[in-house]
Amino acid sequence: MSGKVVLTYFNGRGKMESIRWLLTVAGVEFEEVNMTKHEEYVKLLSDGALLFEQVPLVEIDGMKLVQTKAILNYIAGKYNLYGKDLKERVMIDMYSEGVRDLMEMIMMLPFISPDAKKTKLEDIERKATRRYIPVFEKALASSQYLVGYQLSCADVQLLEITLMLEEKFPTILSKFPVVKAFQGRMKSLPAIQKFLQPGSKRKPQPDDAYVKTVYEVFNYKH
């Protein structure tokens, strides 16, 4: 198995989806192990595979990696998606972390009560349009990419969050033509075009079955 990249998570988006996106853009084939039972999680713990008792877990280059940002940075660095120098990398990190802030708000939606969901959606839309998307609109106004002159992991994550936002708010990019044009360019890249087709390894929006599985694997009561 050492030559293969193996992702261990749930059969859903969560924190693993950005890793799937980045591997896809890098042209890396991967296999997935989808946990469905608490016993599978316990076995990973007893095997010492989860450094901080958390998933995602990615097996790559003979290593067992955890912590989403560390995994993304490793893949980005290995496949030339992490800028040309330290100054570019710190800018890539800043943009990526801004994207992650928004992503994590959306990731939590399936796990909150229906009563709280409406308020949370309003909060996400407000922050996205006032705090986050304007930053990317400005950064892309005079450049094809967020940082420097080549594709980076920040660009891939920005595409991912724009698609996530449009699933919740279909017209959200209507006042951000530069970001919308960027999204169009990114979607035309062959690897991404393929990933967006039905039957790819891209996961659908989380549903009740996904939430139930997460609770079962971690033995959470809700």
Burial class (CB within 10 angstroms; exposed 0-12, middle 13-18, buried 19+) of 217: buried
Sign of the torsion formed by the C-alpha atoms of 14, 15, 16 and 17: positive
pLDDT of 2: 53
- Enter the tokens of residue 132: 């986050």
pLDDT of 1: 42
Question: Cα(124)–Cα(144) distance, rounded to whole angstroms?
Answer: 26
Other Cβ atoms closer than 10 A to 206? 20
pLDDT of 53: 85
- Enter the tokens of residue 88: 């570019």
What is the residue-level pLDDT of the chain in tens, covering all 222 positions? Answer: 457 999 999 999 999 999 999 999 999 999 999 999 999 999 999 998 998 989 999 999 999 999 999 999 999 999 999 999 999 999 999 999 999 999 999 999 999 998 999 999 999 999 999 999 999 999 999 999 999 999 999 999 999 999 999 999 999 999 999 999 999 999 999 999 999 999 999 999 999 999 999 999 998 876
pLDDT of 185: 97
Question: Cα(163)–Cα(129) distance, rounded to whole angstroms?
Answer: 14
pLDDT of 196: 96
Amino acid type, 46:
S
Element (H, E) at 57: strand 57-60
Question: Cα(34)–Cα(16) distance, rounded to whole angstroms?
Answer: 11
Question: Cα(159)–Cα(164) distance, rounded to whole angstroms?
Answer: 9
Domains annotated on the chain, with CATH: 5-79+196-218 (3.40.30.10), 86-188 (1.20.1050.10)
